[in-house]
Each structure stands twice: as structure tokens, then as C-alpha cells.
Structure 1
Amino acid sequence: MCNTDPSASRSGTDELATVDHLRALLGRYPFTGRIDHDEEELQDVRRTRALLRQVWSLGRDDAAEAVNKMLRDAKALPHLVRHDSQDWHVHATEPSSPLAERIRVDAALGLLDVIQMNEMDRLRICAADDCAGLVLDLSRNGLKRFCSVRCGNRMNMIAFRERRADRE
């Protein structure tokens, strides 16, 4: 969701500009519970996107403060649930909570482990020259640099052309 921002999207445009864009995103990354499909919800999700993009660039202590605020504001109470075809997993809000709040809380729960394990260096901005995509590096060696294969291939091609030009 965070890489739908114009600075990070593949298209270079805001991929959350309309309610239909949000509907398409939820088609790819489904959320259960309340979904209003209205302009107010879209704006709240866009504010959440901005907040999460900001957390990515914070130091560990500031990120912990931001995560705690997200959880506190939502009055989050983690609990195990099993529904639809999904086995036991954690929810921390009610299904009737606003979509953006559920997104914030889910992200905060994931960030808890990153902060607790002192792995903030696994949260990065894409190393491609013209991309501000967010990278969550879950690789074993922690060396992932690009937000997508597309960015990696593009930068590798640029480097290849530069090496070839230097030899000529």
C-alpha cells in the first residue's frame, strides 16, 4: 500500500487517487471486516499511507513511539481469530473498525517485531535513483536494495551500460 504513493509507484502517479483505485488495491490485498468504499475512507487510507511511509524513515526510538501511538489510538487489543478459510491469526481491532485504522494496527503489529529485534536497518528506501519505494528486507543476508525486480533490473542495466561505455 505504501508504494502506491506517486514517488514510489510503478506508474509515477498516485495509485490511490480514487475510490476505484482503493477497491482495486483491496482486490489484490484483501482485508476482512468493514469497508465503506467512500471518499472519507480513501482519504483516511491515504493519511495512513503517509504515516507509514514516515515511520519507515524514523530511528528506532521514534518508530517505537509512532507504533505505540497507532496502537494506543486504536485501543488495540491483540487476539487470535480464525475466519473464512484462514487459520488462526492475530487481529487487534474489531471487524467494524474503519479500514485505515485496521491497516495502521496491522502494520504496527508487524513493526513491533522489527523494533524489538533491533532490525530497523531492514526498513529501507529503494536504492534506484528515481524511486522512493519502501523496502522491507526479509532476506537472510539483509542485502535487498530495491523495492521491486523492475527497479533492480533497471539499475543493473544502467550499470551494465556504464561499464560497457567505459570499456569503449
Structure 2
Amino acid sequence: MLFAPDTEVALRSVVNLINTAANGEDSLATVEDLDAFLDAEGFSGSRTRTAAELRSVKRLRVELAALWSADEDTAAKAINKLLADAKALPQLVKHDQWDWHLHATTPEAPLADRMGTEAAMAIVDVIRSKEMERMRLCAAEDCDAVVLDLSRNRSKLYCDTGNCANRTHVAAYRARKAAEGD
């Protein structure tokens, strides 16, 4: 394990949120889509289930996507803004199926503030650990999804949104075979 378990969960949620808009498709088109996403990610706390809440999460998604490929200084500024905007106050909590972990907002805080703060707190650990290179873009030429590389040897290149690794490897194989036939 590279980071604390709650940090890895939060980072994976950030990847999944950003990738809801990968490759020109928006899988957060409705409040129901947001409900399904939050259920899959295990988010708790209050919800308004309104179009305004959905828009705020989509704005957060754009901010996090920009942060994902930012340099360390730019990422730190963006994280500090997310934390300040949410009036973050880190607290150690234990609830539901989760053991001790950090929350920096109340369960009643707006959803986008809670999500942004959780993402920011996780990326704080990435920056402090000097591991920003683990946050990357998918290596497939036709994909704009993000990748979180938690592999020991830092070798993960492709996203989990589709068949990017397989498509790229098949294309390379076919190109080699075509070159051999010349």
C-alpha cells in the first residue's frame, strides 16, 4: 500500500469522477446518474438531489481534471482553494463500514464541497509524498481519461474506462505484422 486506505479510496473516486466525462461522453447527465455514481463510490452525508447540486459536482469535476495533470505548485494552489472554499476543518472520524479516517467537512456540507475536500485531502498526500507522477493521462492516443498508477513499479499506462490497453496492444501487434509482411 502506497497511501493510507482512505487516501487510495478517495483518489480512485477522483479518477472515477473525472472519467465520467472521458472521451466526449458524460455519464453524469442526470441527478439519477449522480445518485448511482455516489452509491458506487460510497459517498455519505446530506444530499439535495437537485440540478444545482449536479451542476456543482460537474464544476468540481472540471477543477479536478485540470488539477490532475497540473504541476505540483499549481496543484497545491488548487487544493488550497478547494479546502478554503469548503471551510475545511480536518477531523478523525469512524462511521458506517469505514474505520478511522479523515473528514474535513460536516456531513451536512454541500455535496460538491464534501467531494472536493475529500479529493483535496487525498491529493495533499500525493503531493507531500512526491508522487504526482502517479496521476497521469491515459497513454492511448484516442483517450482523454485519467489514470491513477498505484502499481509498485509505476507501470500503469492505460485507464480503466474501456479497452485502451487492449486496443493499443492489438494495434501495435497488427502494425508489427504488417511491417513483417513488407
Structure 1 length as normaliser, TM-score?
A: 0.93
Question: C-alpha displacement at 1:6, in angstroms?
Answer: 4.1
Provide the secondary structure at the position in 1 that maps to 2:158. Answer: coil
Provide the secondary structure at the position in 1 that maps to 2:25. Answer: coil
Choose which of 15, 19, 32 in structure 2 pairs with 1:3: 19
Choose which of 47, 51, 59 in structure 2 pairs with 1:39: 51
Matched, 1:26 2:14: no
Question: C-alpha displacement at 1:117, in angstroms?
Answer: 1.6
Question: C-alpha displacement at 1:27, in angstroms?
Answer: 2.2
Q: Verify the 8 A CA contact 2:20 2:27 in the aligned structure 1.
A: yes
Matched, 1:156 2:169: yes
Structure 2 regions of 5+ residues with no counterpart?
A: 1-16
Matched, 1:146 2:162: no
Moved more, 96-105 or 18-27: 18-27
Question: CA 1:163 to 1:4, structure 2 compared with 1: closer, same or farther past 3 Å?
Answer: same
Alignment partners' CA distance in 2, 1:54 and 1:144:
20
Task: Note the 1:49-68 alignment, pairs <5 A.
Answer: 49-68=61-80
- Amino acid in the other structure paired with 2:146: L
- Amino acid in the other structure paired with 1:129: E
Point out which structure has higher relative CO (alpha carbons under 8 A, 6+ apart): 2
Matched positions, count: 164
Aligned residues: percent identity?
48
Provide the secondary structure at the position in 1 that maps to 2:152. Answer: coil
Alignment partners' CA distance in 1, 2:74 and 2:40:
31
Structure 1 regions of 5+ residues with no counterpart?
A: none
- Amino acid in the other structure paired with 1:48: L
- Amino acid in the other structure paired with 2:153: N
- Amino acid in the other structure paired with 1:3: N
Correspondence for 2:104: 92
Choose which of 130, 135, 147 in structure 1 pairs with 2:147: 135
Correspondence for 1:117: 129
Q: CA RMSD in A?
A: 1.2
Structure 2 length as normaliser, TM-score?
A: 0.86
